[in-house]
Amino acid sequence: MRKRRTARETALDLLISVTDREAYSNVALNRELEASGLLAKDRRLVTELVYGTLQRRGTLDWVLTRLVKKGPDSLQDWVRELLRMSLYQLLFLDRIPERAAVHEAVEIAKRRGHAGIAKLVNGVLRAWGRRKEELLPPVHPRTMEEKVAAWSAPAWLIRGMEQAYGEEAARRSLELCLTPPDVSVRVNRLKMDRETFIARWNESMEGAAEASSVAPEGVLIRRGGNPASSDLFRQGACTVQDESSMLVARAVSPKGGMKVLDMCAAPGGKTTHLAELMGNEGRVLAFDVHAHKVERIREHVRRLGLSVVEAAREDARTLPDRFGEEFDAVLLDAPCSGLGVIRRKPDIKWSKDAEDSTSLVPLQRELLDAAAKLVKPGGTLVYSTCTWEPEENVRQVEAFLARHSGFMPDDSLSRLLPEAVAKTAITGSGWVQILPHHFGSDGFFIARLRKAGSP
């Protein structure tokens, strides 16, 4: 019988998969945990080790550079990941004794390598123990090397954010992105109001529910595990969604009876929110280019008890071949670099470079041009991304308006957003940029544009 892997061995395999084979951390983790047979406490440890090691890679490599004579890049890939994961435990997990972390690492090195590698791993980790006071990351970084170590982000990302938003905003956002993300849900008001949901959660569910100050339907779940495993979720009373993401459908401001289009809809969080805001009256057409993701939209629609959503597979760029200027509102939540969600998906910041971060700009431009042909006169186009990269956001919108004189920024956006958002986030004519440190949520950009003419 094949011996079951330990939590640390499972975490190490996942880290190798994400780093070397460029697997998505959330997808690989969910798949591996489902097949692992590990106990709940070990599954939690695997999750902590994978996300923590990825999130803190910049800091860990700064330490490793000072402990490995030829630097971490001189090591075999799996040895480098083993040392990163072990150092993460030593630096950031107080509940794991140093002796246990070192012992486990050496045992894994013996099983996967040879005596020489085990000796190297043991030597590096024990050297950290002797020098740990001098190997703390800089508290007040000044040089780019020190910032990479302190904020655990690549230099290109730090440089770009400082240029766009200033050093203080960059520091606060990147430090915030090193902390665990908040868990939040959107209440399905077709089932119950937010107050009732909070009361029911606090009466019968694990953890504490409290109202979000960012999103009117939002609820934060403190110390409550995964809400998707709760009875309230299964009953269709809520959807797991970040607070910033909940503002997108609010920016569309759909009304009952409207015909609304969601061009890149998967996995369906914003689609279903649109239908809920419409009181489940009218039509919401939702498309995505991936067939398996369309099925996920349909699953959410069924679970939430919605009947006005029609989901189908389609490349959104071809939609003008099927539809004319007939939609009251069009939502384009565009594919993007995803920098605003590195708190949830830390592998993103290490798998991209400065060029990659803007590689989707041409596709976004094509999608916007397609969207322009689908909005009826007097209708609304909302463009959103989960990134803070200006080329994908405000500059993309400025370029769109230069190409399409029939569209204009819709300054009513500020009245559609909660007061706290309008006051705290970065705003312009018809757009808002939310950075992670503003509310402890994902980074998001939302622009609301209006097409000239009468509805």
Residues with catalytic function: 386
* SS3 call for 440: coil
Query: What ranges make up the beta strands (E) of 227-369?
Result: 238-240, 259-262, 283-288, 309-313, 327-333
Tokens standing for residue 132: 């740990």
Q: How far is CA 379 from CA 168, 179, 203, 259, 452, in A?
A: 39, 40, 44, 10, 8
Distance CA 434, CA 438 (A): 7
Phi-psi region of 71 (alpha: psi -120 to 50; beta: other; left: phi over 0): left
Q: How far is CA 235 from CA 10, 257, 320, in A?
A: 33, 26, 37
Residues 241, 276, 224, 234, CA torsion sign: negative
Largest CA distance in the chain: 77
Q: Which residue has the tokens 């992670």?
A: 436
* SS3 call for 418: coil
At residue 83's C-alpha, the angle toward residues 79 and 88, to 5°, is 150
Distance CA 392, CA 389 (A): 6
Q: How many residues would you count in the chain? A: 455
Nearest to 96 by CA among 222, 8, 3, 224: 8
Spatial contact of 60 and 91, defined as CB atoms under 8 Å apart: yes
